[in-house]
Chains A and B, each alone.
Chain A
Amino acid sequence: QKEVEQNSGPLSVPEGAIASLNCTYSDRGSQSFFWYRQYSGKSPELIMFIYSNGDKEDGRFTAQLNKASQYVSLLIRDSQPSDSATYLCAVAHTGGFKTIFGAGTRLFVKA
């Protein structure tokens, strides 16, 4: 079992729709959860981080965390073609000295 799992996609949504990206993790002691966006050939860019169960909203982005289910998600409202990228879920390892990334989900937003 991988430590952080994501559906590799591609996930294709029309412009203006809601894109839903999911992530599960195996270490119950994980404390911090991050979503990064990575454009092709570029380095990851931090979008959101969440530490507590529930929802956290920032503009068009909402991160959701359910520690009991070991599940993290990212919702992108009013998706734009510029949102087309790979979205990486990352989980901070217990102790804080190691962050594990999922393989990423490719998102395509069709104009």
Chain B
Amino acid sequence: DAGVTQSPTHLIKTRGQHVTLRCSPISGHKSVSWYQQVLGQGPQFIFQYYEKEERGRGNFPDRFSARQFPNYSSELNVNALLLGDSALYLCASKRVGHLFTDTQYFGPGTRLTVL
């Protein structure tokens, strides 16, 4: 089975622009989470979606939004980009059988650079 896929791999934007990042979960996984990882830090939780509904949100401004589609793929949108949004954006999926025990698997990430 294919793993979590993300697109694009790399992206360069300028301040004030918006960006859409895409994620396809592992087949059979219904939950998708998004993380931001800046250099030298661990991944920071942005959103989790399950069955197309937002189930969790981290401490990120409203410029960040996401959605999940009927096929369980997901998009992360960031508006009014700031230099500080430059980071590796990670998508992770999990099956969700037992919420406390299902492990999540990460995609390769999208490297976003804001100039």
Asked if A46 is at the interface of the complex by the 8 Å CB criterion, the answer is yes
A98 to chain B: which residues have CB within 8 Å?
Answer: 45, 48, 56, 58
Tell which of B43, B50, B99, B100 touches A101, judged by Cβ atoms closer than 8 Å.
Answer: B43
Q: What's the least CB distance linking B106 to chain A, in Å?
A: 4
B43 to chain A: which residues have CB within 8 Å?
Answer: 44, 88, 101
Taking a contact as CB atoms under 8 Å apart, the answer to whether A44 and B56 are in contact is no
Asked if B44 is at the interface of the complex by the 8 Å CB criterion, the answer is yes
Given A43-B90, A44-B90, A95-B99, A101-B44 contact (CB < 8 Å): yes
B40 to chain A: which residues have CB within 8 Å?
Answer: 103
Alpha-carbon distance between A10 and B100 when the two chains are bound, in angstroms:
31
Taking a contact as CB atoms under 8 Å apart, the answer to whether A43 and B99 are in contact is no
33-71 of chain A: CB within 8 A of chain B: 34, 36, 42-46, 49, 51
Tell which of B55, B58, B109 touches A43, judged by Cβ atoms closer than 8 Å.
Answer: B109
Given A43-B106, A43-B109, A92-B100, A101-B58 contact (CB < 8 Å): no
B90 to chain A: which residues have CB within 8 Å?
Answer: 43-44
Taking a contact as CB atoms under 8 Å apart, the answer to whether B103 and A88 are in contact is no
A104 to chain B: which residues have CB within 8 Å?
Answer: 41-42
80-107 of chain A: CB within 8 A of chain B: 88, 90, 92-93, 95-104
Of the A-B pairs whose beta carbons lie under 8 Å apart in the complex, a sample of 30, sorted by A's number, is A32-B100, A32-B101, A32-B103, A34-B103, A36-B106, A42-B108, A42-B109, A43-B88, A43-B106, A43-B107, A43-B108, A44-B43, A44-B90, A46-B104, A46-B105, A88-B43, A90-B42, A93-B56, A95-B56, A96-B100, A97-B50, A97-B99, A99-B33, A101-B43, A101-B45, A103-B40, A103-B41, A103-B42, A104-B41, A104-B42
**Given A103-B40, A104-B42, 14 further pairs, Cβ under 8 A:** A4-B42, A36-B106, A43-B108, A44-B43, A44-B90, A46-B104, A49-B103, A95-B56, A97-B99, A99-B33, A99-B45, A99-B104, A100-B45, A103-B41
